[in-house]
Amino acid sequence: MAQRDDRNCCANLKKDESCCQVAKQMPVKPQTAKMFPDKIYKSVQAKGVDATGMTCECGVFGAIACGDYPTQLDIAQMICLGLVALQHRGQESAGIVTSQGKLTKNFTVHKGMGMINNLFNDEAIRKLKGNLGIGHTRYSTSAASEVVNCQPFVVHTAHGALAIAHNGELVNCESLRREVLERGVGLSTHSDSELIAQSLCCAPEDVSEHDGPNWPARIRHFMTLAPLSYSLVVMHKDKIYAVRDSYGNRPLCLGKIVPVDAGHANIEDKLAEGWVVSSESCGFLSIGARYVREVEPGEIIELSRNGYRTVDIVERPDYKRMAFCIFEYVYFARSDSMFEGQMVYSARLQCGRQLARESPVDADLVSSVPESGTAAAHGYARESGLPFGEVLCKNRYVGRTFIQPSNRLRQLGVAKKFGALAQNVEGKRITLVDDSIVRGNTIGPIIKLLRDAGATEVHIRIASPPLQYPCYMGINIPTREELIANKLSADQLADHVGADSLAYLSVEGLVRAVQMNKTHVNPIKAGYCTACLTGEYPGGLPEELSW
């Protein structure tokens, strides 16, 4: 890919004492992965990524108390519970950073490798005293699974400590990273979050900062340098900034903490006990918070003890549409989360209905691969008029099969993960619904399990289109060679896994299904990233990495 010399591109920046200038964004031409699909992936491997399955990179959470400090709210405990609700978004590492809201020099930090419940015991929570804080749970895509890459990332600037938690992956990180390195600043990690932190330390030349740092202006400047893909929570002293990229690729939402005895009563904003921001709304109820709304694409929200306000909105180019990751609906998000005014469960239900309209089949029973395919299976059953019944029993104490190191162990893992409900299966023609197929390693053993239990026919229905392309925006999807849809057609795959038939939901059908229950559909604002399905990337292909 052509590169240009950006050595002098930072003339419009003032150098902060804590970091160097960051390069302007290199132009990225609209391209598709069909042009050179594997060249970039090999470079991504060099960054230390273990690209062995389809996983979401991470989840972010922030909380701040209202009113006088010190607060009576246990902010650290709230963040911890919020991260537990986001655990499905990342299981490798986690961290929490808190602030008293008075001093700028130091934050209290606790982070490490492992699951949240193992990292944060009572002693750790007690040490994280504060009136505001941010947290992060991580699955690596842009950097290796190491302690040094755990978030939130804390840097000490000329204006005090700054903490950042990031969900997503910078598409043009190479040009930004190269400029930092060429100007003599060493980077201690491969994490995009460190790169973001360094860029936020650079103040735009046209912004006056006589009264201290203008963080909204700095964030805006970073957003003009990096179009995709991120949702951020940024903490400095007594404020938290919630930031979503202009394409709205990664989710982020706002909630308010209400009194415990509020019940279902409507609580005015001025009576809120605090405010929270999260990758998903699924954890709000467990901490006594209520969903308010999504952070809009390009929006910068400032949270303080006085409430929240929108301080800026960075628009994307007029010819570009919103590009919310459609696989948040299909697979990644928890079913009780809210996106675009609708619950994820209802969107998955509609995917099942649409799938039944597109690919009906004569059967006696509709069932699912628990639990990710269950909502779609219910939709399929309702639309087709067939009864729904469980045919698989899941062992909840066996981890996901994609984390095991070889295909043989993955296939053996299925037998440990599921058991067949023989009395529901014997003599039946089964329509089995799942949310997606990545490599195709697990569905074959499941079909064999059902046939061994007495099923006369097994028809596979997938509530999403075939996965054909990698993702460069925060989702860990394997190489094109590993994706089974690039090797076998639906009919060939059915023969390969031993199914009587196999059919996918169409791309058009998926988009139609997720829009069915939206509270509003504005064709100008609406739009989805379907790059892993179509190879059409909203910001073009990322630059090839130099190591």
Contacts of 307 (CB under 8 A, 6+ apart): 66, 269, 270, 272, 275
74 is in an annotated binding site: no
Q: What does the alpha-carbon distance between residue 306 and residue 191 come to, in Å, rounded to a whole number?
A: 33
372 is in an annotated binding site: yes
At 301, which helix (H) or strand (E)?
A: strand 299-304
SS (H, E, C) 411-447: HHHHHHHEEECHHHHCCCEEEEEECCCCCCCCHHHHH
**Six token digits for residue 322:** 């919103």
Which of the following is catalytic: 19, 20, 56, 58?
A: 58
Asked if 152 contacts 79 with a C-beta cutoff of 8 angstroms, the reply is no
Q: What does the alpha-carbon distance between residue 223 and residue 241 come to, in Å, rounded to a whole number?
A: 13
471 is in an annotated binding site: yes
Asked if 299 contacts 313 with a C-beta cutoff of 8 angstroms, the reply is yes
282 is in an annotated binding site: no
351 is in an annotated binding site: no
Q: What does the alpha-carbon distance between residue 356 and residue 351 come to, in Å, rounded to a whole number?
A: 9
10 is in an annotated binding site: no
Q: Comparing C-alpha atoms, which of 134, 151, 142, 167 is closest to residue 59? A: 167
Q: Comparing C-alpha atoms, which of 276, 277, 166 is closest to residue 230? A: 166
325 is in an annotated binding site: yes
DSSP type of residue 332:
I
User: In terms of DSSP H, where are the helices of 25-74?
Assistant: 39-46
* 58 tagged catalytic: yes
DSSP type of residue 32:
B
Q: What does the alpha-carbon distance between residue 214 and residue 321 come to, in Å, rounded to a whole number?
A: 29
Binding-site annotation: residue ranges: 325, 372, 434-435, 471, 529, 532
Binding-site annotation: residue ranges for Mg(2+): 372, 434-435
| Residues recognised as catalytic | 58
